[in-house]
A and B are shown apart, each in its own frame.
Chain A
């Protein structure tokens, strides 16, 4: 599975959009980009995933570049409850849905 690179931390103001970047330059054609988050020591929570098209759901938007070498997770209106570690993961079908977690980005939403 392709490796990902994320900034270790970032701050965001409450109510503003949070843009979380992720580089996955070695991604292959059948690998999906997933985003999960982990609040404190709770179980990771799925946010969104995509293959090559941009995706949006009730939690976030995912923007994938045309060459698929990077992506951005957008939290449109960050709240204090969005403070968490956010993980960008690439995963290929048939791999047992194995998720390889990197270091993630620790996001702190400030009032």
Chain B
């Protein structure tokens, strides 16, 4: 089954304690992205990757890092989480290229609380 898998689904952590949210897709997609969703602000892109070793900032990259060492994995790293990073996070992947435009598949989300 084609899917995007995020882990963990729920996480409560303390300010400053480094954490990683994993994302894996089994569709051999080139493009992967991370979004955060906050009430009243909708979904905003944090980082995206067009292929292995190619990443770029989205709209709200501050406080986050990503890496794309393998095509299937795109972890989101919070080096020093703060309470304003409490949010619902989604990973997405899609097959695409310079002229293609295809549907994106989203993971089920990770609800992060930073206290």
Checking B96, B97, B100, B109 against A43 with a beta-carbon cut-off of 8 angstroms, the contacting residue is B109
Query: Does B45 reach chain A (CB closer than 8 Å)?
Result: yes
Q: How large is the interface on A (under 10, 10 to 19, 20 to 34, 35 or more residues)?
A: 20 to 34
Residues of A within 8 A of B103 (CB): 34, 46, 49
A55 → chain B, closest Cβ, in Å? 12
Docked Cα-Cα span, A46 to B2, in Å, equals 13
Question: Which of A7-15, A17-25, A72-80, A91-99 forms contacts with chain B?
Answer: A91-99
Q: How large is the interface on B (under 10, 10 to 19, 20 to 34, 35 or more residues)?
A: 20 to 34
A97 and B96 form a contact (CB under 8 A): yes
Q: Mark A85-103, 1 if CB is under 8 A from B, else 0.
A: 0000001111011111111
- 45-94 of chain B: CB within 8 A of chain A: 45, 48-50, 56, 58, 88, 90, 92, 94
Chain B residues packing against A (C-beta within 8 Å): 4, 31, 33, 35, 37, 42-45, 48-50, 56, 58, 88, 90, 92, 94, 96-109, 111
Please list 10 pairs of residues, one from A and one from B, whose beta carbons are closer than 8 Å in the complex, sorted by A's number: A41-B111, A43-B4, A43-B106, A44-B104, A46-B103, A46-B105, A94-B97, A97-B48, A97-B102, A99-B43
